[in-house]
Amino acid sequence: MQRLHLVFGGELVTPSKNQFKNVDDIHIVGIFPNYDSAYTAWKAEAQRTVDNAHMRYFIAHLHRLRDEEVAASGTEKLD
């Protein structure tokens, strides 16, 4: 199974919460084939924006959204 990871981030309303100030301004860094390459990309963006306490980047484990062992995942059931 391929283990894809999404790296994204943006400006938060407050550094103490994970709520984006403007969802339209979320920076999509990219989708990566493994955690190590996603971590490298995440770290580069986090270091690039270290002077702004409201900027935060995240790694989303896309492979966890889909269970290949189940005939239809939850996302496939959406109408």
17-61 pLDDT, tens per residue?
999 999 999 999 999 999 999 999 999 999 999 999 999 999 999
pTM beyond 0.75: the answer is: yes
Question: Which secondary structure element, helix H or strand E, spans residue 46, and what is its range?
Answer: helix 35-48
Mind listing the domains of the chain with CATH numbers? 5-77 (3.30.70.2400)
**Res. 70 pLDDT band, cuts 50 70 90:** low
pLDDT of residue 68: 60
Residues in the chain: 79
